[in-house]
Amino acid sequence: MPVGRFITFEGIDGAGKSSHIEAAAEALRAQGRSVCCTREPGGTALAEALRELFLSREMDALTEALLVFAARRDHLRCVIEPALAQGQVVLCDRFTDATMAYQGFGRGFDLNVLAQLEAWVQAGRQPDRTLWFDVPATVAAARRAAARAPDRLEREDLAFFDRVRAGYAARAEAAPQRFVTIDATASMDAVRTRVLATLHDLGP
């Protein structure tokens, strides 16, 4: 049986990461791999219900963190861990790096508390590879405005997204063996080429 691989796609809202997940899945399936595409918050019926609350209701940073970690626990238990055990490649739109970047750096919430929640909920589970779609907050904001009506988090100001971007940079610096930084200001084709190039050395 192939060894399961856990790959996450990260970046501030408007970075364009979600646009490349299906192309990555198609490339992996062409290599003969079984692929599970999922997202956070979400991925299960319970987690999707929590996502709806998270994106639509006003709440403080601790409540945000508790909701996303509750959703993550159900997601891990019901989707991610079973798929990895079956040898699948799991492509996940966001994971804990997003929580550290958004709630930790964006909101200024205690990173030590988030790290403790991470340890409790994940029991050591981390992505095998994280693709960070890096883009300035101004560029991401222009893309969001052209694409959709904003949700609760997307209505935050540029300073908030600058802090979130700094949070991602700090996570990438702390785990260089896991992170692949992708210049998301490049053309769609250039970004896709870079994404697909990261998938050729996942192993059997």
Cα distance between residue 138 and residue 97, in whole Å: 21
Contact 71, 42 (CB under 8 A): yes
Cβ neighbours for 155, distance < 8 A, ≥ 6 positions apart: none
Cβ neighbours for 176, distance < 8 A, ≥ 6 positions apart: none
18 is in an annotated binding site: yes
73: helix, coil or strand?
A: helix
13 is in an annotated binding site: yes
Show the CA angle centred on residue 121, arms to residues 153 and 71, nearest 5°.
40
106 is in an annotated binding site: no
Q: Which two tokens stand for residue 126?
A: 């981390």
Q: Burial code of 144-176, b = ≥16 C-beta within 10 A, e = fewer?
A: beeeeeeeebbebeeebbbbbbebbbbbbeeee
11 is in an annotated binding site: yes
19 is in an annotated binding site: no
- Residues belonging to the binding site are 11-18
- Residues belonging to the binding site for ATP are 11-18
